[in-house]
Amino acid sequence: MAHRGPYYKVVLLGELGVGKSSVFRRLRDDTFDERQPATTGIDSCTALFKVDNENVMLTIWDTAGVERFRTLTRNYYRNAHAAVFLYSVSEASSLHYLTQWVKDCENFAPSAVRMLIGNKSDLDAEVDFATAKSFANLYEFVGVHILSAKKNLGIQEAFQDLAAKLHAPLPRSPSIIPALPQSQSAPETSKKCCK
């Protein structure tokens, strides 16, 4: 069924190699690929979450490698309701570099809700949770989640939490996809992005 309820645009941010595309692929079709595909351009997918008995759709955008050239543009951030900042728990510098991404986000999407995600929890951690939490407090993030795209741990929980925070009683004016007349209903998509 085509989704007719609220949806929120979520952009993934963070240094090259922290696992943005791996998290994205878990949400898109629950796959994990060790090899880094050499794709460029921006990719998006949707994932549905139940919040207070309502279907809330997140449209998740992945940079697909263009962050390497620091060419993430205004267009990527445009109308983003949330920004998910990823770092790798096994690489402390990837958390420190997020300060630059926070600055960019303040410029391009100042009202976006911010969430911090520490990926690669299956590896030895260089960053402890307390450090991540104080980073999150400093920059007014709404939450911190530690997860592993490789082991498929914690991803659904993190994005479920984000959907709940975005769709909290204090409304953040979701964009609404208007209902289409029956004859124009979009065909069911073959790819399911949520569980």
Ligand X SMILES: Nc1nc2c(ncn2[C@@H]2O[C@H](COP(=O)(O)OP(=O)(O)O)[C@@H](O)[C@H]2O)c(=O)[nH]1
Q: What does the binding site for ligand X look like in residue numbers (CB under 6 A)? A: 16-22, 34, 36, 119-120, 122-123, 148-150
Angle between helices 20-29 and 155-166 (to 10 degrees): 80
**Residue nearer to ligand X on the CB measure, 6 or 14:** 14
What is d(CA 152, CA 88) in angstroms, rounded to the nearest whole number? 15
**Residue nearer to Mg ion on the CB measure, 66 or 164:** 66
Minimum CB distance to ligand X, residue 187 (Å): 30
Under rule CB under 5 A, residue 21 binds Mg ion: yes
Strand partners, 113: 82
Site for Mg ion in 40-69 (CB under 5 A): 65
**Residue nearer to Mg ion on the CB measure, 63 or 160:** 63
Residue with tokens 């449209």: 59
Strands (E), 89-147: 113-119, 143-146
Under rule CB under 5 A, residue 121 binds Mg ion: no
What is d(CA 138, CA 154) in angstroms, rounded to the nearest whole number? 23
Residues at the site binding Mg ion, with contacts judged by CB under 5 A? 20-21, 65
